[in-house]
Amino acid sequence: MDINLITTQDGSHTLEVPSLKERYHSIHGAIQESKHVFIEMGLRHFSSGYISILEVGFGTGLNAFLTFLETTDKEILISYHALEPFPLPFSCTTKLNYLQLLEAEKFQEIFNSMHHAPWNQTIQITPKYKFQKLPCQVQETNYKTEFELIYYDAFAPHAQAEMWNKSIFSKMVKALKSGGILVTYCAKGDVRRTMQKVGFQVQKLPGPPGKREMLRGIKP
């Protein structure tokens, strides 16, 4: 796959896939977007305890790493379950400037260990952070009430429409425990209605800088 490394407006890198005419993050700021959508509106919805997370699209590992950082100063235990059918080459992920910008260079080994993690095996990265990576597509999954939180970080509907249909969101609602939430940067009306049809209570929340809104679905 042809991929270009580009710098977004907050100085953090993202990747661009010319064939899909799509980027891994918002051009307004990759770190800014991930922190807002997944950490502030997702993870911080839960104040303490054990949180089991499903990420749809591991990609650069930015969300997984930001989630790990939250464990360094909070009373949370994370079990992180990441899906990635099209892993990025290490030649690409080693160029990303996230750790420098987050002033987290001392955790370089941890970032690397997520990228190098063997597939389908749970590894205990730190006492508070357990990690598993699966090389499969979300369409192939069949989870039942396993997660508190889903980071739904697929490519946008115009680039990958098949990731935003009723059948996948039915799987996502089943995968969540009652009271669990799904967060996504996408705020399209069609996506919101699809989520409502499969049983999510959907909230429109303020989006990250440069985007008006985002969505959070709650499983009643």
Ligand X SMILES: C[S@@+](CC[C@H](N)C(=O)[O-])C[C@H]1O[C@@H](n2cnc3c(N)ncnc32)[C@H](O)[C@@H]1O
Instruction: Give which of 41, 75, 50, 37 is closest to 177, Cα–Cα.
Output: 50
Shortest reach from residue 33's CB to ligand X, in Å: 9
Give the CB-side neighbour count of residue 53, counting CA atoms within 13 A. 33
Residues 143-182 that bind ligand X (CB under 6 A): 153-155
Shortest reach from residue 42's CB to ligand X, in Å: 12
Task: Check residue 10 for interaction with ligand X (CB under 6 A).
Answer: no
Shortest reach from residue 220's CB to ligand X, in Å: 25
Strand partners, 119: 133
Residues 107-136 that bind ligand X (CB under 6 A): none
Residues 60-99 that bind ligand X (CB under 6 A): 60, 62-63, 83-86
E-state strands within 116-211: 123-126, 129-134, 147-152, 176-184, 201-206
Task: Check residue 32 for interaction with ligand X (CB under 6 A).
Answer: no
Instruction: Give which of 35, 46, 7 is closest to 214, Cα–Cα.
Output: 35
Do 156 and 27 form a contact (C-beta atoms < 8 A)?
no
Of the candidate residues 122, 137, 165, 170, the single one contacting ligand X (CB under 6 A):
137
Footprint on this chain of ligand X (rule: CB under 6 A): 24, 34, 56-60, 62-63, 83-86, 137-139, 153-155
